[in-house]
């Protein structure tokens, strides 16, 4: 095994690329859960985003349009979830699962003629001057716009939840929909909006997989990324900054194990490929073990059905 073939600078730079899909999806889900809704369909929305983004990008030869339609695709699927859970009051766990099962099947159907094609490339935006700084340049300033966008989104979600009135209302709805309703807030509308935002983010995350990270379309290519995004929201105790840490941690594990595989490490390939999932489980255990803390941070109305009776 030749560990010297692993370049730490490239490793960190590719870590950010590996983490971006999950970061986007987890940020979206964070907002959804803060509004008190548990959408387990992240995986389904991601893969619909991956396929719709890929198809549009190939057909129009524009990655930008691809990302736009990926967001719309993810949002469209999330609106089915919104219709079922918010209007027809279905169980959120079951509906989220349905979203994932449907998304996996439907994306395979949509993408059947696009397997094995290359997507139009997404250019890197090298920040002038900064990108030439040794070590820091390649790590931080030689990425594509989506990576920068995802980092901006972390700040935006954090500031939205902490400092804006809309963010306060969103948190209040997630804390107690009955109280929010009694004060006259439109619980359902707020939640539908949050769900749509989550869908768009998941769609973007999926498209980042099919347009940048891989970049190809294959059936079931999200391979659990949506579930890991859900786990990262729990890991982050519903805080945007910690979502960033969680996603980059996961990205690091993924990239490291791929590099070890490439370097011919003396560990069975299967163990390396299952390590991201195992580490996610381990992290979940460590976070959940502290019961009092986990309970304090979780939105109190998470997953509960709201029906205004009065």
Partner 1 sequence: MMRLERRPEPSKAWTAATPILAVLATMIAGGIMFAALGKDPFAAIKLIFWDPLFNEQFAAFSRPQLLIKAGPLILIAIGLSLGFRAGIWNIGAEGQYIMGAICGAAVALAVYPLEAWWIFPAMVLAGAFGGFLWAMIPGILKTRFNTNEILVSLLLVYVAENILASAALGFLRNPEGAGFPGSRNLSAYPAASNPEIVAGTGMHWGVVAAFIAVIFAYILLNRHIMGFNIRLAGQAPRAARFAGVSPNRLILFCLGVSGALAGMAGLFEVAGPAGQISIDFNVGYGFTAIIVAFLGRLHPVGILLAGLLMALTYIGGELSQFMLGIPSAAIQAFQGMLLFFLLAADVLTNFRVRFGRVEVA
Partner 2 sequence: MGATPLLEIEGLTKTYPGVVANEDVSLTIQPSEVHALLGENGAGKSTLVKIIYGLVRPDRGTMRLNGAPFAPASPSAARQSGIAMVFQHFSLFEALNVAENVSIGMETPPPTRELAHRIREVSETYGLPLDPHRLVGDLSAGERQRVEIIRCLLQNPRLLIMDEPTSVLTPQEVEILFSTLRQLSADGTAILYISHKLEEIRTLCDEATILRRGRVVANCNPREQTAREMAELMVGSALQSPGRSNVTPGAPLLELKGLSAKSSSPFGSELKSVSLEARRGEVLGIGGVAGNGQDELLAVLSGEQRVEPDAIQFGGAPIGHLGPNARRNLGVLAAPEERLGHAAAPEMSLTENAMLTGSVRMGLSKSGFLNWGQARAFAEDVIQAFDVRTPGAGNAARSLSGGNLQKFVIGREIKQSPQVLVVNQPTWGVDASAAAAIRQALLDLAEGGAAVIVISQDLDELLEISDRFAALNEGRLSAFRETSELTMDTIGLMMGGAHDMEVAHT
How many residues line the site for partner 1 (CB under 8 A)?
Answer: 54
- Residue 224 binding result from partner 1, partner 2, none, given CB thresholds of 5 to 8 Å by partner type: partner 1
Identity of the residue, 178 or 219, whose beta carbon is nearer to partner 2 in the bound complex? 178
Asked whether position 40 contacts partner 1 by CB under 8 A, the answer is yes
Answer for which of 274, 297, 301, 304 binds partner 1 (CB under 8 A) is 274
* Partner in contact with 175, chosen from partner 1, partner 2, none, beta carbon below 5 to 8 Å by kind: partner 2
Q: Would you count residue 129 as binding partner 1 (CB under 8 A)?
A: no
Per-residue 3-state assignment (H helix, E strand, C coil) for the chain: CCHHHCCHHHHHHHHHHHHHHHHHHHHHHHHHHHCCCCCCCHHHHHHHHHHHHHHHHHHHCCHHHHHHHHHHHHHHHHHHHHHHHHHCCCCHHHHHHHHHHHHHHHHHHHCCCCCCCCCCCCCCEECCCHHHCCCHHHHHCEECHHHHHHHHHHHHHHHHHHHCHHHHHHHHHHHCHHHHHHCCCCHHHHHHHHHHHHHHHHHHHHHHHHHHHCCCCCCCCCCCHHHHHHHHHHHCCCCHHHHHHHHHHHHHHHHHHHHHHHCCCCCCHHHHHHHHHHHHHHHHHHHHCCHHHHHHHCCCCCCCCCCCCC
Q: Could you say whether residue 291 binds partner 1 (CB under 8 A)?
A: yes
Contact flag: residue 289 with partner 2 (CB under 8 A): no
Contact call for residue 171 and partner 2 (CB under 8 A): yes
Binds partner 2 (CB under 8 A): choice among 88, 129, 289, 295: 295
Window 150-169: residues binding partner 2 (CB under 8 A)? 165, 168-169
Nearer to partner 2, 213 or 242 (CB): 242
The residue ranges that bind partner 1 (CB under 8 A) are: 40, 80, 83-84, 88-91, 93-95, 97-98, 101-109, 112, 181, 186-188, 219, 223-224, 227-228, 230-231, 234, 268, 270-271, 273-274, 277-278, 280-281, 284-285, 288-289, 291, 294, 307-310
């Amino acid at each position: 095994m030749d560990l010297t073939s692993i370049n730490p600078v490239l490793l960190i730079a590719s870590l950010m690329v590996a983490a971006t899909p999950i970061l986007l999806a987890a940020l979206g889900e964070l907002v959804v859960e803060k509004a008190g809704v548990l959408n387990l369909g992240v995986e389904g929305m991601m893969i619909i985003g991956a396929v719709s983004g890929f198809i549009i990008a190939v057909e129009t030869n524009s990655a930008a349009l691809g990302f736009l339609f990926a967001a719309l695709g993810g949002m469209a699927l999330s609106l089915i979830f919104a219709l079922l859970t918010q209007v027809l009051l279905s169980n959120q766990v079951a509906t989220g699962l349905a979203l994932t099962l449907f998304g996996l099947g439907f994306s395979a159907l949509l993408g059947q003629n696009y397997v094995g094609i290359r997507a139009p490339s997404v250019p890197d935006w090298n920040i002038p001057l900064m990108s030439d700084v040794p070590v820091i340049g390649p790590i931080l300033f030689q990425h594509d716009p989506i990576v920068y966008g995802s980092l901006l989104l972390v700040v935006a979600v954090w500031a939205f939840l902490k400092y804006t009135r809309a963010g306060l209302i969103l948190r209040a709805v997630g804390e107690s929909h009955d109280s929010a309703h009694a004060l006259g807030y439109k619980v359902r509308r707020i939640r539908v909006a949050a769900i749509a935002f989550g869908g768009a983010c998941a769609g973007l995350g999926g498209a980042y997989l099919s347009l940048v990270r891989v970049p190809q379309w294959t059936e079931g290519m999200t391979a659990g990324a949506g579930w890991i995004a859900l786990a990262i929201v729990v890991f982050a105790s519903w805080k945007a900054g910690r979502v960033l840490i969680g996603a980059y941690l996961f990205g690091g594990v993924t990239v490291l194990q791929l590099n070890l595989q490439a370097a011919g490490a003396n560990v069975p390939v299967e163990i390396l490929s299952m390590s991201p999932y195992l580490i996610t489980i381990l992290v979940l255990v460590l976070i959940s073990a502290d019961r009092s803390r986990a309970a304090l941070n979780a939105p109190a109305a998470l997953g509960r059905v709201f029906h205004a009776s009065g």
